[in-house]
Amino acid sequence: MSAGAADAGQWGERMERLSLKSIPGGCLAVLILLAAIGPAGAVQPGDPGPEWELTSAEGEEIVFPAHARGAPAVLFFWATWCPYCHAVMPYLDAIRSDYAEAAVNIYAINFKDDGDPVAHMQELGYGFVVLPLGDLVADDYGVWGAPGLLVTDGEGNVVYRRGDTQAPPGTAIAEQWDREIRAALDAALGR
């Protein structure tokens, strides 16, 4: 028998010994409750968004939601390595342009990234508010996967949060998110 097969056999034996009986009742109840309510801390539509402060790529201290000055905003949690992020960026830039009269900003909050988000975004040339150190803000919103896409109303309340997808990265999913974000912005603006 190979070492891998022996390890697999031992693992199987351990799993057979582990049962729900070995988990204390109080812990089991907490696990069931957490499974029922979803990811802990995930801010959902209808929830007030957490306040946060980050330094932009230009060195400006951004305090949110005050920086939005009463306008709706798009929070875009992204990473340089994320193909979904790259697919949706041109659509977000078009949203920024189309909603400029309503003072809508796109806050590009970088997280889970070992790359250089500032240089990367400068290379791409989008007019987002680039925030390179956003891991803690992503945690506050319960964003674990990229891209995180949220829309807030003028008071910082979340009115849209991107749902999970099984779609491959590309135009089709980016266009879907574009439609959803525009609908949320229009609703927040009373259009």
Q: Do 124 and 184 fall within a single domain?
A: yes
- State pTM to two decimals: 0.79
Q: Do 61 and 11 fall within a single domain?
A: no
Summarised one tens digit per residue, pLDDT across range 119-166 is: 999 999 999 999 999 999 999 999 999 999 999 999 999 999 999 999
Q: Give how many domains the chain has, as a whole number.
A: 2
Q: Do 141 and 171 fall within a single domain?
A: yes
Fill in the DSSP letter of residue 69: T
Q: Do 13 and 102 fall within a single domain?
A: no
Percent pLDDT > 90 in the chain is: 77
> For all residues of the chain together, what is the average pLDDT?
85
Percent pLDDT > 70 in the chain is: 79
Inter-CA distances, 125 with 68, 85, 90, 122, Å = 22, 14, 10, 5
Say if CB 88 and CB 182 are below 8 A apart: no
Query: What is the spatial distance between Cα 45 and Cα 65, in angstroms, rounded to a whole number?
Result: 16
Summarised one tens digit per residue, pLDDT across range 34-73 is: 333 345 568 999 999 999 999 999 999 999 999 999 999 9
Mean pLDDT across the stretch 16-27? 44
Domain of residue 26: give its range: 3-37
Q: Is the pLDDT of residue 30 over 80?
A: no
